[in-house]
Structure 1
């Protein structure tokens, strides 16, 4: 099975800007997920903590978290320098001092080598399908697991393949396929705390 090509190149500034302009208009309920992540971090961690966002895009989530949680140090990982440029424009100087931006492509075999530490929270929001085929999901989750601290949280939100959601069953997974991929990566006690309009969140905690 071949990878599913992307209709846009998010490394191109104009394409990245168009994505930024339309993302929250198309799916305003993204903010509900952002609120969930922020509340979780606030209630679970009072000391300084490390948050990694994979496929961080134009930085909406980073801005949301850094503006509200002053004990967070944030790593944004994306393959697009254009996205990072858009993201950095959203932060004030104090927020920017707690953020770092790494260029990397999780389609590459050793993508996690650029991340020379472990994290308390790893979030991939609306970017898992950028693997460009669902067959890669299990290996991706296995790699992420090595980056989590003990008791670390892994939060995966992506589009579902469903009659009322996404239709491409090579790029997107249904709920059971998401659960199977996570279980095959040895995650247990998988929760689904939020589902809105075809976006579904899966939450795991390292034992």
Structure 2
């Protein structure tokens, strides 16, 4: 038996956002993804610690990374100011270390809203919500243009696993397609480091996400 994998979001509704954040307690696999993202930052941005997170959301990854790295300058981009309110509560005393930037990733001028040029651009469980492969490809292109040589893009996002009979929402698609997009916009050797919570037979909307890395 097969079905549809997708999720609905109300990112400008305060009650929805807070309820979603309350339910989303990072599990061990998700914390492992945060550690993998942080490792890539340390590998590629140690000498220039400006980090940009696309889709700051409730701030769980920002808190995880900032607790482990006192030297980072962190900018969190989101199109929903409601998420900023939740993120500030999540971050607590770490919030002053974060620059909160409101911008819509569907607007191709979003890099002009940034406070500074990042050495690392990171994201988790966000780009699939843009709703199409083209929208994700556009973000990858803007990231390539924004990063300096040697800068890194790390995207941990929901994907459509190989071998599934299920239909996935348009923003969730195969790893091979992500890597093709990254190469097409200019990244020389993009890689998928790990596929988390693999489930092809009876997947939920919270399973099947990969850590994709591309260095400029």
TM-score by length of 2: 0.84
Gaps of 5+ in 1: none
1:203 matched residue in structure 2: 213
CA distance in 2 between partners of 1:107 and 1:6 (Å): 19
Change (3 A) 1:187 1:99: same
Gaps of 5+ in 2: 1-5, 198-207
In the TM superposition, what is the alpha-carbon distance from 1:119 to its structure 2 partner?
0.8
Q: 153-162 or 59-68, which moves further after superposition?
A: 153-162
2:90 matched residue in structure 1: 90
Change (3 A) 1:165 1:188: farther
In the TM superposition, what is the alpha-carbon distance from 1:112 to its structure 2 partner?
1.9
- Look up the SS of the partner of 1:204 in the other structure: strand
CA distance in 1 between partners of 2:12 and 2:45 (Å): 34
In the TM superposition, what is the alpha-carbon distance from 1:45 to its structure 2 partner?
4.5
Structure 1 outlier segments of 4+, above 6 Å: none
| CA deviation string 1:33-87 (max 9, x = no partner) | 1011223333554445101000110000110111110000100000111111111
TM-score by length of 1: 0.87
State the aligned residue count: 200
2:29 matched residue in structure 1: 29
2:181 matched residue in structure 1: 181
- Look up the SS of the partner of 2:176 in the other structure: helix
Partners of 1:159 and 1:165 within 8 A in 2:
no
Partners of 1:128 and 1:158 within 8 A in 2:
yes
| CA deviation string 1:96-127 (max 9, x = no partner) | 23211011111123222201431111001111
CA distance in 2 between partners of 1:44 and 1:190 (Å): 14
